[in-house]
Amino acid sequence: MEQRRADTIAEELEERIFDGTFANGDRLDEVRLADQFGVSRTPLREALQRLSRSGLVELIPRRGAFVRQPGPVELLELFEAMAEIEGVCGRLASKRITDAALADLHDANRRCMAAIEAQDPDAYYRENERFHMIIYQQSGNSFLAGEAQALHRRLKPFRRHQLRLRGRMAQSMREHEAIVEALEQGQADVAMQALRAHVAIQVEHVHSLMASLKSAAE
């Protein structure tokens, strides 16, 4: 018997919320799910509480657990928060980043470029993610890095859509290069503003966000 089923269950449930198996507002029936996972209610409830902490599930006392996809307003707020926090990470990183990390950023950018040439959005997304993670780490503040990572993760389903937009990958690529340059030269405010804008631009395409939101809600 393996240890700690609760977190594996939480992951699985999260996956199902992301992939749309559970729609917004759905009630997550404890007994049914427990049955489905072949466990008792105890570890399942534990998993639900964990999900409520990360915001995917709302736990209403004496009523149950409900899937809670962010609405338009909340989504905008999350993107804005992410833009701001990434900006902050960039500002701090500009003063603390190591040469090795700078080399890694260059490397990630090269791979991004290759992905664009290969017309491979998935590869691009993967390398793009690496790029951002490096910056989080190099902020030198593990708390902020953790927050940034959590937000990144939470907004993932909504970001993927954006890359499909015409020309977005190439544009994103240019922004990456400007960001690395600012970091390289220790230009704190330039790096901050560039990163903030790089994330905030996704809010510009709110309509496409709303579309993905609606499709997730049905």
Name the residues that contact DNA, by CB under 7 A: 1, 3-6, 27, 29-31, 38-43, 45-46, 59, 61-65
The two three-digit tokens of residue 169, written as one number? 């990958």
Q: Which does 31 bind (CB under 5 to 8 A by kind): DNA, its own copies, none?
A: DNA
Q: Is 58 in the site for its own copies (CB under 8 A)?
A: no
Rounded to an integer, what distance in angstroms lies between the CA atom of residue 75 and that of residue 71? 6
Question: What is the closest distance, in whole angstroms, from the C-beta atom of residue 200 to its own copies in the complex?
Answer: 12
On whether the CB atoms of residues 58 and 66 are closer than 8 A, the answer is yes
Closer of 106 and 154 to its own copies (Cβ): 154
Closer of 2 and 99 to DNA (Cβ): 2
Q: Where are the alpha helices (DSSP H) in the chain?
A: 5-18, 30-37, 41-53, 72-96, 99-117, 121-138, 142-163, 168-184, 188-204, 206-217
The mark string for 127-146 relative to its own copies (x by CB under 8 A, - otherwise) is --------------xxxx--
On whether the CB atoms of residues 172 and 139 are closer than 8 A, the answer is no
Of residues 27-56, which lie at the interface with its own copies (CB under 8 A)? Answer: 42, 46, 49-50, 53
